[in-house]
Chain A
Amino acid sequence: MSEKPEKLIDKKGLRLDGRKIDELRPVKIEVGVLSNADGSAYIEHGKNKILAAVFGPREMHPKHLSLPDRMVLRCRYHMAPFSVQERKSPAPSRREVELSKVIREALEPAVFVEYYPRSGIDIFVEVLQADGGTRCASITAAALAIADAGIPMRDLVVACAAGKIDDKVVLDLMDTEDKVGVADVPVAFMPNLNAVTLLQMDGILTPDEFESAVNLAIEGCKKIYALQKEALKTKYMNTKEEVEE
């Protein structure tokens, strides 16, 4: 891509894309976009474009992976070869395998897994275009896809990152800020239960900076949660109108 920028925040306190330090990128969410999946969602988070699909509950295949007391969640996070500047090999990389696990573990506390023993659900997350913060956007979309599949959940899960660039703690890093910046703190959050399901940190922060980053990310999560709720309700408002017609 372009060369490494010297300053990520200009004199006016604005970032490379003109955002303030505590401003989110524009988020657009749509629910129920895929007809063959039991539940699906599409999210545009800045330049990120991500599809999430959920299948199940269904019998696990292979059957020996099923557990006698609970449902198994399987997650596949995958980046399309065209999702980044340089072509990415479609084979799952080490990073994708890890993110699959991280997304699964961020969603698992929200799902009533004990309701469907010996069965499983499959979550497929496909990143069509990536621009930093895909794991957070993926969690937000996957949680909606699970709700759209009608699977009982304790709460929706919403995720957002905060980080440090040019000695300032900022919300929602994009790709360049993530690469050039000092630190990145992704947080997944259940807004009604007020519980954090994912907390990672990449880089170096002081304890104070870390705390403010986490709080900032949670504030961001709450803003995205409002959009998430609206997206889910919109789908069912529309289906209701179709029935009435």
Chain B
Amino acid sequence: MSEQKSGNIVLPGERLGVIEEFLPDSGTYVKDGIIYSKIVGHALMDLLHKRVSVYPLINGAVVPKVTSTVVGQVGNAQSDNVLVRIFKIGSKKLSGVFTGILHISDVQERYVDSMNDVCKPGDIIRAKVISEKNQIYHLSTNDKNLGVVYAFCSRCGNLLEPKRYEMICTKCGNIEKRKTPVDYGHEEI
């Protein structure tokens, strides 16, 4: 007989069972042979596979992970890499930022001459995390859905509009280059 029923809301520290009875899965931890919940969520007691897990009710505590899509603002830019201040992971907006790095070799498949043709400081960029070793987040824009979602004119600061293979500023007529996704200008921030 299990101590909790499947579907019950459990809180951190609530006892779910013992290790003789279940295999502890996500959302749980074990101390002295007893399985506890570590998050707020629904208890899932899989009696068939003898597993217990907690399905989270809160989409909280998100940090960048490999494969996650992130949105950030381009900060310090050098000729071969830029720093990105990540403020959104998946659909979750963060209260702070994480710093990611986008290297020129991860921008796209073909050769890219300079980072100036990819993005400029202040642009909003959508990228994928390809490495999280030591909490240094390496990003990639090598996909048709990834790249600069909002670009700003480096002369007057106005929002740039895509025109053929280039970007044009409707205010001052400046022409610039960016690596844009297919849905340029469609990212909720």
Binding site for B on A (CB under 8 A): 36-39, 55-59, 61, 68, 110, 112, 116-119, 147-156, 190-193, 229, 232-233, 236-237, 239
Partner of A149, one of B36, B61, B99, B134: B61
* A residues less than 8 Å from B63 (CB atoms): 57, 116, 119
What are the 8 A-B residue pairs with the smallest beta carbon separation, nearest first? Answer: A150-B60, A58-B96, A155-B13, A150-B58, A153-B12, A192-B13, A118-B135, A152-B38
| A-B contacts besides A149-B58, A149-B60, A152-B29, 19 pairs, CB < 8 Å | A38-B60, A57-B61, A58-B96, A58-B97, A110-B12, A118-B134, A119-B135, A147-B40, A148-B58, A149-B61, A151-B60, A154-B36, A155-B13, A156-B12, A192-B36, A193-B31, A233-B9, A233-B11, A236-B40
Q: B172 contacts the other chain (Cβ, under 8 Å)?
A: no
Instruction: Decide: A155 and B61 in contact? CB cutoff 8 A.
Output: no
A221 to chain B, nearest CB (A): 13
Cβ A153 vs Cβ B60 within 8 A: no
What residues of chain A lie closer than 8 Å to B15, measured between beta carbons? 192
Which B residues contact A (CB, under 8 angstroms)?
A: 9, 11-15, 29, 31, 36, 38-40, 56-61, 63, 94-99, 134-135
Known A118-B134, A229-B11; contact A58-B60, beta-carbon cutoff 8 A: no
Neighbouring B residues of A149 by C-beta, 8 Å: 58, 60-61
Q: Are A237 and B98 in contact (CB under 8 A)?
A: no
Chain B residues, Cβ within 8 Å of A56: 95-96
The answer to whether B11 and A39 have CB atoms under 8 Å apart is no
How long is the Cα–Cα vector from A36 to B31 in the complex, in angstroms? Answer: 34
How many whole Å from A145's CB to the nearest CB in chain B?
11
User: A58 to chain B: which residues have CB within 8 Å?
Assistant: 94-98
Query: A59 to B97, Cβ gap below 8 A?
Result: yes
